[in-house]
Structure formats: structure tokens, C-alpha cells
Amino acid sequence: MDIKKAQAGHFYAVGVGPGDPDLLTLRAARIIEDADVILAPQSKKSKNSLALQAIAPLLRDQEVIVSQYPMVRDNSKTRERWGFLAKEVSDRCRRGQSVVQVTLGDPLIFATSSYLMEALAEQIPAEKLHVEPGISAFQMTASRFNEALTLQEDRLLLMSATDLQAVEKALKQCETLVLFKAAGDLPGLLDLLERHNLLQRAKLVSAGGQGEHEVRVADLSRWQPLDLGYMTTMIIHIDKRGWQESVAS
Ligand SMILES: C[S@@+](CC[C@H](N)C(=O)[O-])C[C@H]1O[C@@H](n2cnc3c(N)ncnc32)[C@H](O)[C@@H]1O
């Protein structure tokens, strides 16, 4: 088997899965163990980096940089901050170090890695930039309930629950809707699902993989709502589409 290792002067955006230390891929583990520098982004709102916790068993003598990033909806501030971090990363790569940025879930799904990759693309040759996939929170959430996300010609739509009008429109555009950031306005979201008679088809996982903190709800119509944190993902099984005759013929 060709086992990939962290190479000198290269940058890796590595997905570390939703939080359980054993939901990392073998490749992610190998690259993290080999890296010279680990960059772990942390939001200003949280006290610790969940991505860093997920890789704790793999940390030895790597330099660890925990870096806060802006949680503001301002593209120029976001780009400025990531441009600054990209400079730190590219300086290290030029000195021959391997740098890994760890990201919860997958680095290409609602992840800040994309901002850093974009900024790094101007400073590091493409062949030295790598994305290593991780198990996304929506896959972990689905796995808790043993129910298919898609079959036959079902459409799966992934989105953030931050705009409830957009969520309402999406209910008509897919058979399975996955909502990241589902606890932002939970009362509003539950109300919306109730109006569409979908509460009993909606499931959620909050703080998945975080031991006794994990909340798992298989049927929201039978649930007494609690305050949930940012790490909450909801899956709504709206309908089944089945094989479409026009396509089959
Ligand atoms: C910034 S996004 C990161 C998504 C991540 N890149 C992925 O692929 O899962 C944060 C959202 O991911 C979801 N999430 C991440 N970790 C989770 C966990 N352990 N349990 C439940 N949801 C989680 C939540 O919807 C949260 O609001």
C-alpha cells in the first residue's frame, strides 16, 4: 500500500472527522503525526479547538499554532486575516517545514480551510498544496440513525440553517435536506418544520462523538427542545423520489 506522508515544504488541509479521535482516516493520522507544524483554527466563541482535541493522541513534538479567525460576515476582513495566516504558512513551507491545517469534518464543506487554500494558492505552487478528506458531520449524523440519505434518484441538499426562508424553499427541492448550524434559530426551525408537517421526519445530532455531551434525537416530534450548541446537524427525510420513468426509458 502506498502510504502518504507529510512532505517537507508542503501544506495539507486535513479533515479530522466530526470529533471522535477514531473517526480519522489512516492517511490523515499519518500526515498529522509526520507534520512539523499543526495549525488549528479556533472560533472566538469557543474556549478550545475541537479539531485539536480530535487529534490529541497524535500530537508529539509538532509545533502547534492555535489561531483565532473572525466569525464576522465581512469578506474583506476574513480575506485579510487568512492572507496574514497564509504568509506565516508559506514562510514555514519555504523553510522546508510541512504544515497541516486540521479542520473538523471535511475541509471542503463549510470549512475555513478553503479561505486559507485560496490565499495560499498565490504563494505556494499547486503541487505543494493538498486536501485530505475527512468524514463530514452529516455522514456521522446519518450513521447514528441507520437510515439512507439517498436511494434511487433522491436528491440530497446540504446547506446552512442560518437563513430559514432559504431552508423553506429547499424543502421543495430535495428528498433529503441536511442542515449544518441547525441550532442557530432552533425555535424558528422547529416551527417551520411543524408547519410543513415534517417534525417527525427530522433528526438531529449535537456534539456528536463528544461522549456524554452528545445529543441524539431520532424524531423531533417527540422531543422536548433543549438549548443546543453550534455543533448541531439536522437531517430531514422529506420524501422518496424513486426511479424517474422519463430517465429510465
Ligand atoms: C463550520 S461547519 C464545519 C463542517 C465540517 N467541515 C464538516 O464537514 O462536517 C460547523 C457545522 O458542522 C456541524 N458539525 C461539526 N461537528 C459536529 C459534531 N461533532 N456534531 C454535530 N454537528 C457537527 C454542525 O452543523 C456545525 O454547525
Q: Considering the domain boundaries, does residue 3 fall inside one?
A: no
Q: What pLDDT does residue 15 have?
A: 98
- Asked if 123 and 86 count as a contact pair (C-beta separation under 8 A), the reply is yes
Same domain assignment for residues 94 and 194: no
CA of 181 to the centre of ligand 1 (A): 7
CA of 140 from ligand 1 middle (Å) equals 10
In which band, very low, low, confident or very high, does the pLDDT at 79 lie, cut at 50, 70 and 90? Answer: confident
* 109 to 93, 115, 193: CA distances (angstroms): 25, 12, 24
- Cα(142)–Cα(218) distance, rounded to whole angstroms? 10
**Residues 59-78: tens digit of each pLDDT:** 999 999 998 876 677 778 77
At residue 77, the pLDDT reads 79
CA atoms within 13 A on the CB side of 172: 4
Mean pLDDT, residues 218-238 taken together = 96
Q: What is the pLDDT of residue 5?
A: 87
Mean pLDDT of the chain: 93
Residue with cell 437563513: 163
Percentage of the chain lying above the pLDDT 90 cut? 81
104 lines ligand 1 (CB under 6 A): yes
Both 71 and 170 in a single domain? no
Residue 19: CB within 6 Å of ligand 1? yes
The ligand 1 atom at the shortest distance from the C-alpha of residue 183 is: 27
Indicate whether 44 pLDDT > 80. no
Cβ–ligand 1 distance for 231 under 6 Å, the answer: yes
Q: How far is the CA of 172 from the centre of ligand 1 (A)?
A: 24
Length of the chain in terms of residues written: 249
Whether residue 157 contacts residue 173, with contact meaning beta carbons closer than 8 Å, is answered with yes
- Ligand 1 centroid vs 233 CA: distance in angstroms? 7
- pLDDT tens profile 136-185: 999 999 999 999 999 999 999 999 999 999 999 999 999 999 999 999 99
Is 232 near ligand 1, meaning CB less than 6 Å away? yes
Query: Residue 48: what pLDDT?
Result: 78
Domain enclosing residue 193, as ranges: 138-243
23 found inside a domain: yes
Residues 127 and 160 in one domain: no
Q: What is the CATH number of the domain that holds 182?
A: 3.30.950.10
Do residues 225 and 124 share a domain? no
